[in-house]
C-alpha cells in the first residue's frame, strides 16, 4: 500500500487542470483534423502532439529523482505507442477489410524498412542498457529475449531490401519466410504478435522496477 502511494506521488504529479486541458486540446486537434479531412497520419499527429509536454516533463522529473528509471519510462511509452500502431493496422486489415497502402497503421509514411530496423535496434539497445542497471528484473530479461529476435528479423528484412530493393518481404518466420517457408501468418499479423509479446513484459518490468524503487525509497526514508 505504501509503495503504491509513493508511486502515485512520484509518477503521477500532473495537475488535474493540466491533464484536463491536454485532453481537450488533444480531442480538439483530432476533431479539427477529421473535419478538415486531413490524412490519417496528420490526424494522429494532431491528437498526440498535445501530450508531448506532459511526457517530457514527466521524463525529466523521473530522471531527477531516479536517473535510469527515466530511460525505462521513455522506452515503455514509446514502445507502447509503437504497439498501438500495430493495433491500428490489425483493425484496418481484419475489421475494415483494407489492404496494401490503406492498411499501414496511422503513421503509414513511416512504414519503411529503415524505420522498422532503426526502431527495433533502439528498443534492443535501450533494454540492454537497462539490464546493466536493473539486472535482477526477470521481466526485463524476458523482454531482451523477444526484442533480440525481433531485431534479428528486421536486420534480415533490411538486408533483403538493400539487396533486392523489395520492401514488405516476409523475413524469417512470416508466411513464405526464409526459415522453412515460415509460419502460417502474414507479416503484419506476425509482427503484431512480436510487438505484443515484447510490450507486455516490458510494461510489467517497468511496473515491477518502479515498485522496487518505491519500496527502496520508503525503506531509506524510514531508516533516517
pLDDT value, residue 83: 96
- Is the overall model pTM greater than 0.75, yes or no? yes
Is-contact 126 75, C-beta < 8 A? Answer: yes
Please, how many CA atoms are within 13 Å of residue 199, restricted to the half-sphere of its CB?
19
> What pLDDT tens digit does each residue of the chain (224 aa) get?
434 444 555 545 556 777 788 888 888 988 988 898 888 888 888 999 988 998 898 899 889 888 899 999 999 999 999 999 999 999 999 999 999 888 999 988 888 999 999 999 999 999 999 999 999 999 999 999 999 999 999 999 999 999 999 999 999 999 999 999 999 999 999 999 999 999 999 999 999 999 888 776 655 555 55
Q: At what angle do helices 16-35 and 40-48 cross, to 10 degrees?
A: 160
For residue 168, is it left (φ>0), alpha (ψ between -120 and 50) or beta? Answer: left
pLDDT value, residue 187: 96
Task: Round to whole Å and give the CA distance between 29 and 21.
Answer: 12
pLDDT value, residue 115: 95
Cell of 117: 530496423
pLDDT value, residue 214: 77
User: Coil, strand or helix: which one is 185?
Assistant: coil
**Contacting residues for 216 by C-beta, under 8 A, at least 6 apart:** none
Instruction: List, in sequence order, the alpha helices (H) in 36-98.
Output: 40-48, 52-66, 69-90
Cell of 12: 503521477
pLDDT value, residue 19: 76
Within 10 A of 104 (CB to CB), how many other CB atoms are there? 22
pLDDT value, residue 134: 95
Within 10 A of 99 (CB to CB), how many other CB atoms are there? 10
Is-contact 195 82, C-beta < 8 A? Answer: yes
pLDDT value, residue 6: 45
The two counts, helices (H) then strands (E), for the chain are 8, 0
Is-contact 77 55, C-beta < 8 A? Answer: yes
Residue 54, H or E segment: helix 52-66
pLDDT value, residue 3: 43
Is-contact 175 145, C-beta < 8 A? Answer: no
pLDDT value, residue 12: 52
Count Cβ atoms within 10 A of the Cβ of residue 202 and give its class: 0-12 exposed, 13-18 middle, 19 or more buried.
Answer: buried
Amino acid at each position: 500500500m505504501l509503495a503504491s502511494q509513493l508511486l502515485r506521488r512520484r509518477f503521477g504529479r500532473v495537475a488535474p487542470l493540466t491533464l484536463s486541458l491536454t485532453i481537450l486540446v488533444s480531442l480538439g486537434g483530432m476533431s479539427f483534423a477529421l473535419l478538415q479531412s486531413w490524412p490519417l497520419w496528420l490526424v494522429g499527429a494532431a491528437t498526440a502532439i498535445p501530450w508531448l509536454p506532459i511526457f517530457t516533463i514527466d521524463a525529466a522529473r523521473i530522471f531527477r529523482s531516479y536517473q535510469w528509471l527515466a530511460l525505462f519510462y521513455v522506452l515503455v511509452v514509446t514502445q507502447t505507442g509503437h504497439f498501438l500502431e500495430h493495433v491500428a493496422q490489425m483493425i484496418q486489415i481484419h475489421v475494415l477489410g483494407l489492404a496494401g497502402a490503406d492498411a499501414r497503421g496511422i503513421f503509414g509514411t513511416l512504414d519503411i524498412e529503415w524505420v522498422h530496423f532503426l526502431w527495433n535496434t533502439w528498443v534492443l539497445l535501450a533494454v540492454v542498457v537497462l539490464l546493466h542497471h536493473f539486472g535482477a528484473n526477470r521481466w526485463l530479461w524476458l523482454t531482451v529475449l523477444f526484442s533480440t529476435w525481433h531485431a534479428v528479423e528486421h536486420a534480415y528484412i533490411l538486408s533483403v531490401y538493400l539487396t533486392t530493393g523489395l520492401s514488405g518481404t516476409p523475413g524469417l518466420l512470416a508466411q513464405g519466410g526464409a526459415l522453412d517457408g515460415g509460419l502460417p501468418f502474414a507479416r503484419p499479423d506476425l509482427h503484431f504478435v512480436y510487438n505484443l509479446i515484447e510490450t507486455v513484459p516490458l510494461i510489467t518490468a517497468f511496473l515491477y522496477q518502479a515498485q522496487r524503487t518505491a519500496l527502496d525509497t520508503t525503506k531509506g526514508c524510514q531508516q533516517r
